[in-house]
Amino acid sequence: MAKTDSINVRVFSLNCWGICYLSKHRCQRYTMIGDMLCKEEHDIILLQEVWSEKDYLFLKKKLASSHLHSHYFKSGFFGSGLAIFSKHRIHDTFLYRYSLNGYPYMAHHGDWFGGKAVGMAILSIGSLIANVYVTHLHAEYCREKDSYLPHRVVQAWELQQFVRHTSVGADVVILGGDLNMHPQDLGSRLVRSYTGLQDAYLEAAKFDGCENGMTLIADNPFINKTELVPFEKGIRIDYILFKGSSKVDIYCDSMSTTKGSIPDHPFPYSDHEALTAHLRLESHNLTETRRHGQSGDEDHAAGKVAELVNIVTEARTEVKVGLHCAERMRYTATRTGMMGLALLLLELAIAAVPWLALGTEHPFPRTSFYLLAVLCFAILVTTLLLYVFYTMELKSLQGAEDQMRLAVGSLQEKLRAFPLFQAHNSERICPEGQDPSTLSPGE
Amino acid sequence: MAKTDSINVRVFSLNCWGICYLSKHRCQRYTMIGDMLCKEEHDIILLQEVWSEKDYLFLKKKLASSHLHSHYFKSGFFGSGLAIFSKHRIHDTFLYRYSLNGYPYMAHHGDWFGGKAVGMAILSIGSLIANVYVTHLHAEYCREKDSYLPHRVVQAWELQQFVRHTSVGADVVILGGDLNMHPQDLGSRLVRSYTGLQDAYLEAAKFDGCENGMTLIADNPFINKTELVPFEKGIRIDYILFKGSSKVDIYCDSMSTTKGSIPDHPFPYSDHEALTAHLRLESHNLTETRRHGQSGDEDHAAGKVAELVNIVTEARTEVKVGLHCAERMRYTATRTGMMGLALLLLELAIAAVPWLALGTEHPFPRTSFYLLAVLCFAILVTTLLLYVFYTMELKSLQGAEDQMRLAVGSLQEKLRAFPLFQAHNSERICPEGQDPSTLSPGE
C-alpha cells in the first residue's frame, strides 16, 4: 500500500449574515470578506447567508482570478443563501431542499422564506473526486422552549441521508456550514454518527481560535449577549466536517477561527466567526480497497451501530413530539375554521330569514353585518391555508419517522450479524426467519 | 471473468388511480390489485397514485405473507402516492420532493397537493445491492399548450440528478413509475441519457401487451378518449427502467402490460395499464471492475456525451421559457397588487378627508365603501401570496438553469478529453488553460 500523493486542501466556512437592509455594515463587510478571501486563497470556500445574489456576484467578480469556479444555490423566496467558491473545477451540483423549515407566518424569523437546503458540488482535486457540501439549518431562537427542534432534527436526518447516499463514489467528503446545533445536540450526533464525518475542530492537530472552537461569541460586537444566555462566552454551531474513503486518508493539520475582531478593521466579517481547516489528503494506489474492515475492528463497529440505533431512536422520539404538536395545531386551525363557518352560516340564515333578526325595531346594523361576514370569511380562508400547511408538515414528520423506524430495524439487523452480538443475544436472532450471517455488515 | 450467479427479478409498476371519492370503483379495484399481486408474487412492486394511506395499509395487510417489506412515501398534502412492496429486505429509504410541481391554485389538477417526488429504497437481492426508485411526475393536461412543461422538465432534471448521485454504490438500479412523458419527450430522453438507464420495453427479448407498449389506452373503459387526441390508440407514459453496474449485467427477458380489460373482472385495475418486467441479473466475481471502458468504445462514449450536451441544452431552453412565463406571472401579480393598494389608499383618503367625497348630498354609500375596502385588501393579500409563490418558482427554475449550464460546461470539457474530438477540435481545447488529458472520461 504505497503512498503516492499528499494534497493540501484549505477549506473556509463562514455564515456571512447578509440580510439586506437589516444586517449592519453589510456592504463594507462583504468588501472585507472579498479582500480576505482574495488574499488567503483557500481551496474551497463555503458561505452561508449570502441572501442577496448581488452580494454573491460581487464576491464572484472579486474572486474571479483566484477562484475560477463557483456556484450559488437558489431556493425558497430569498434563496438558500448558500454559495461555494473553488480553485478546483466544479463538475456537477445538486441541491436538496429540507422538507421542513419553520412556518411562513413566523415571518420575523424568516427561515421559511430562506428555503434552507444542503448544496452539493462535485469537485476534482487532482485525480480525486471530492463531494463538497454546504448547508445551513433552521436557527434556534430559544433553547429552553425550542419549537423548531423537530424541524431541525428532521433537517439533520435529511442532511445525513443526502450526504450518505450521494457520497458513495467520492474519494473525499467535506461538509461545511452553520448547523445551528451544539456539538452534543441530537442533530449533530445524528449527522456525525450516521455519515461517519469527523469534526475538524476535534481532529485538528493544532487549533488557533476561540475557546472551545466557539463560532458565535459574546466578544463579537454584532452579537446580542442576552441571546447567548446561559452560554455566556458563546457557542459552537458552525462546523467543517470531513471524511476520506478507501482510496484516501484525510487529516486535519490545523484549524483556526476568527476571534470576534479583525486587526485593522472596525468590525468583524460577520456575527459568526469564520472557520478555516487545513486538510491533508493522503491517497493510495490501491488495487484492493479497504472497504471491508478487518475482523479486529468488529467490536468497535458493533459499538458504533449500537450507538447509532440509540441516536436514531432519540431522533424518532423528538419527531414524535413534533408530530403531536403539529396535530394539535392542525386541530386548533380546524376548530377555529369550523367556528368561522358556523358564524358565517348563522349570518346567512339571518339574511335569508328576516324574522330571525328578533324584531324589526333593532335590525342587525348593515355595516356590522358585512364586516362580520368578511371576518368570518377571512377566518375560513386563513384556517384553510393553515390546515393545508399543517397537513403537509404532518406528512413530512410522519415520513421522517417512518424512515427512522425502518432505519432502526435495518441497523438492528446489522447489529445481529456481528458475531459477538450474536453470541450475547442468540435468543433474539432472526425473528423473521432470516439468516443474519448472510447480511453484509459493510452495507 | 467467471459468471457465478443468475438472479431473476420480476418488477411490477402500476399507477393505481386511487383518488378518494373521485376514482371509479376504487375499493373493488384495490381488492383486485391486491389479489393479483398476492398471486403473481413479483419481487418488487412499484405503485403510484396510492393517495390514501388506508389503501396502502389494505395492500400491506393483503401482501403481508408474500411481501414482507414495504414502504409508503409521505409528502405534500395528500402524500406522494408512492409505495413499494418487496420480497427482498428494504435497508434504507430516501425521498426527494421535486422543487416544482404545478400551482396550488390549480386545485382541480391537484398535482401541487400531491407533493410529487421520487422515492428510493435500497434492497439487498441476494448479495447484491439494488437501488429501486419509484416516481410520478406532473401530469400533462394539454399537449398542445402544456403550461406545466417547464415544471416537468425540471422534475426530470432533478430525477436524473437524484438517481445518478444516489446510485453510485448500487449493483443494480431499477426505476419504475408514471413519468407522464412520451418516450421521445425531452424529459424522457434527459433521464435515460444522463443516468444510462435502459427502457425495459425497448430492451425486452419478448413483449406481450398493448401496441407500442402503450400504458394509457383508448380501450381502457376509465379513459376519456377525447383526452388522448391526437394519439387515438393511446400513449406510453409508464416505464420500467434499469441498469446494471461493473459487477452485474442486467437483461430484460420479457415484458408485459395489461390490455385494458382483465379476464373474469368487470373493469381493469386502473386507468393506466400495469407493467411487468422479468429482469435477469448476471453477476460476476470481479477483482477488476469494468468501470473504465475499453478505448474501442471511446467513439461511442463521445457520441453519447455529445448527445447529452444537446439534450441538456434543449432542457435549458425549455426552463428559460418557464422562467419567462413565471416572470410575466409575477409581474401581473405585482401590478394587480399595486392597483389594489392604490384603490385602498384612495379609499382611506376619502374616509380621512370628507370633502373628497364630492359634496355631501351623495355621500359614498357606507356598505359599498366597506365592501370595496375588503375587496382591495383581499386583492392585496392574494397577490402577495402569489408574489411569494412565483418568486419561489423563479428561484427553482433559475437554480435548475444554473445547474444545467454548469453541467453543459462540464460535459463539454469531458468531450474535449476524447482523443478523436481533440484531433478534430484542437483549436477549441483548453480555454481555461487546463490539460484535458488529465480529466477522466469516466467521471
DSSP A432-443: TS--GGGS-TT-
Output the CA torsion B406→B409→B412→B414 (10° steps). Answer: -70
Residue finishing a domain among B249, B266, B295? B295
Question: In sequence order, what are the beta bridge partners of B243?
Answer: B173
Closest C-alpha among A302, A80, A402, A256 to residue B82: A402
Query: Do residue B261 and residue B326 come from a single domain?
Result: no
Shared domain for B408 and B324, answered yes or no, is yes
Question: Coil, strand or helix: which one is B83?
Answer: strand
Question: Chain A: residue nearest B414 by CA?
Answer: A91
Q: At residue B385, does pLDDT exceed 90?
A: yes
Helices (H) and strands (E) in chain B, counts: 10, 15
Partners of A86 in the β-ladder: A44, A69
With a pLDDT cut of 90, the percent of chain B lying above it is: 74
Asked whether the beta carbons of residue B113 and residue A165 sit closer than 8 angstroms, the reply is: no
Yes or no: say if B43 and B208 are a contact pair by the CB < 8 Å rule.
no
Amino acid at B360: T
pLDDT digits (tens, 9 = 90+) for B246-267: 999 999 999 999 999 998 999 9
Q: Kindly identify which residue of chain A lies nearest to residue B413, measuring between CA atoms.
A: A91
CA A76 – CA B391 distance, rounded (Å): 8
Q: How far is B416 from chain A (nearest CA, A)?
A: 14
Residue contact A94–B169, C-beta within 8 A: no
pLDDT at A360: 54
The answer to the question of residue A121 being in a domain is: yes
pLDDT band at A387 (very low <50, low <70, confident <90, very high): very high
The predicted pLDDT at position B374 comes to 85
Give the pairing of strands B172-178 and B128-136.
parallel
pTM: 0.91
Is residue A286 very low, low, confident or very high in pLDDT (cuts 50, 70, 90)? Answer: low
Instruction: Say if residue B11 is exposed, middle or buried (CB neighbours under 10 Å; 0-12, 13-18, 19+).
Output: buried
- Min Cα separation B382/chain A (Å): 11
Whether cis (ω within 30° of 0) applies to the bond prior to B230 is yes
pLDDT of B30:
97
pLDDT at A110 over 70: yes
Q: Is the pLDDT of residue B83 over 60?
A: yes
Domain containing residue A291: CATH number: 3.60.10.10
Q: Which residue from B280, B279, B277 is spatially nearest to B238, judged by alpha carbons? A: B277
A135 shares its domain with A272: yes
Any domain includes B330: yes
The partner residues of A131 in beta bridges, in order of sequence, read A122, A173
Q: How far apart are the first and last CA of chain A?
A: 24
pLDDT single digits (tens) B277-317: 999 999 876 544 444 445 557 788 899 999 999 999 999 99
pLDDT tens-digit series, residues B391-441: 999 999 999 999 999 999 999 999 988 876 655 554 443 333 333 333 333
**Are A283 and A306 within one domain?**
no
The fraction of chain A above a pLDDT of 90, given in percent, is 75
Q: How confident is the model at residue A434 (pLDDT cuts 50, 70, 90)?
A: very low
Q: B273 to chain A, minimum CA–CA distance in Å?
A: 28
| Catalytic annotation, pick one of B272, B278, B300, B324 | B272
Residue A100 belongs to a domain: yes
Domain annotation covers residue B443: no
Strands across the sheet containing B69-73: B69-73, B82-86, B44-48, B3-15, B275-284, B248-257, B206-208
**Assigned domain for A372 exists:** yes
The per-residue pLDDT for A330 is 97
Least confident of A120-129, B165-174, B288-297: B288-297
Residue with cell 450516521: A194
Q: Is the dihedral of CA A165, A170, A172, A176 positive or negative?
A: negative
> CA B241, CA B191: separation in Å to the nearest integer?
10
Residues B17, B222: contact at Cβ < 8 Å?
Answer: yes
Interface test with A, best of B85, B89, B165 (most A CBs within 10 A): B165
- Residues of A with a catalytic annotation lie at 272
The answer to whether residues B291 and B355 belong to one domain is: no
In a domain, A30, yes or no: yes
Residue type, A116: K
Tell me: pLDDT of A425 over 80: no
Tell me the pLDDT of chain B averaged across its residues: 89
C-alpha cell at A210: 476561540
**Together in a domain, B199 and B220:** yes
Please indicate whether, in this complex, the C-beta atoms of A120 and B367 are within 8 angstroms of each other. Answer: no
> For the residues A140-169, what does the mean pLDDT come to?
95
DSSP A277: E
Q: Poorest-confidence range of A39-43, A177-181, A257-261, B298-302? A: B298-302
CB contact under 8 A, A432 and B168: no
Grid cell listed for B59: 395492500
A217 secondary structure, DSSP code:
E
**Are residues A122 and A239 both part of a single domain?**
yes
For residue A77, which residues of chain B lie inside 8 Å, CB to CB? 388, 391-392, 395
Q: What is the pLDDT of residue A291?
A: 46
Closest CA to B241 of B329, B131, B349: B131
- By residue range, what is the domain housing residue B54? 3-295
Cα atoms in the 13 Å half-sphere on the side-chain side of A423: 4
Q: CB–CB of B407 and A92 under 8 A?
A: yes
Could B399 and A124 be called an inter-chain contact, meaning their C-beta atoms sit closer than 8 Å? no
Domain match, B253 and B199 both: yes
pLDDT beyond 80 at A74: yes
Domain-located, residue B113: yes
User: Alpha-carbon distance B59 to B81, whole Å?
Assistant: 13
Cα–Cα distance between A365 and A347 in angstroms, integer?
A: 12
Residue B440's pLDDT is 38
Q: What is the pLDDT of residue A355?
A: 63
Stated as kind and residue range, the H or E segment containing A383 is: helix A366-416
Residue A307 and residue A285 share a domain: no
The pLDDT assigned to B289 comes to: 47
**Minimal Cα–Cα distance from A124 to chain B, Å?**
9
Long-range Cβ pairs for the range A436-441 (8 Å, 24+) = A438/B127, A439/A413, A439/A414, A439/B124, A440/B124, A440/B127, A441/A293, A441/A298, A441/A301, A441/A414, A441/A417
pLDDT at B356 over 70: no
State in Å, rounded, how far the first CA of chain B is from the last one.
24
pLDDT score for B437: 37
SS3 state at B248: strand
Which is nearest to A77 in space by CA: B27, B152, B92, B399? B399
Chain B hits for A71, Cβ within 8 Å: 402, 406
Q: How far is CA A60 from CA A72, A81, B157, B269, in A?
A: 10, 14, 26, 55
**Which residue in chain A has the smallest CA separation from B168?**
A169
Say if A443 falls within a structural domain.
no
Cell of B9: 427479478
Residues A319 and A277 occupy one common structural domain: no
| Best to test chain A binding among B91, B163, B364 (most A CBs inside 10 Å) | B91
Q: H or E segment at A382? A: helix A366-416
Where a domain ends, among A271, A295, A319? A295
Tell whether B270 and B370 lie within a shared domain.
no
A257 lies in the same domain as A161: yes
The mean per-residue pLDDT over the stretch B16-36 comes to 95
B336: pLDDT strictly greater than 60: yes
Residues contacting A48, CB < 8 A, separation 6+: A13, A14, A15, A16, A81, A82, A134, A135, A136, A177, A178
Pick among A395, A402, A412 to test the B interface (most B CBs inside 10 A) = A395
pLDDT digit string, tens, across residues A315-365 = 999 999 999 999 999 999 999 999 999 999 988 888 777 665 555 555 667
Which percentage of chain B shows pLDDT scores above 70? 88
Average pLDDT over every residue of B28-35? 96
Selected residue with higher pLDDT from B160 and A437: B160
- Residue-wise pLDDT tens digits, A161-212: 999 999 999 999 999 999 999 999 999 999 999 999 999 999 999 999 999 9
Size of chain A in residues: 443
Residue B7 is classified by DSSP as: E
Which of A75, A127, A399 lies closest to B74 in CB terms? Answer: A399
Ranges of beta strands (E only) in B82-116 are 82-86, 90-97
- H or E stretch at B98: none
State the nearest Cα–Cα gap between A230 and chain B, in angstroms: 37
Q: Report pLDDT for A296.
A: 59
Among A420-424, B186-190, B273-277, B405-409, the minimum mean pLDDT is found in A420-424
Q: State which residue of chain B sits closest to A96, comparing Cα positions.
A: B96
Average pLDDT across chain A, whole number? 89
* Cβ-defined contact of A71 to B168 (cutoff 8 Å): no
Contact A99 B97 (CB under 8 A): yes
Chain A residue with the nearest C-alpha to that of B366 = A367
- Among residues A249, A280, A295, the one where a domain terminates is A295
Interface contact flag, A388 B113, Cβ < 8 Å? yes
Q: How many domains are there within chain A?
A: 2
Would you state the cell numbers that stand for residue A5, as one nine-digit string? 500523493
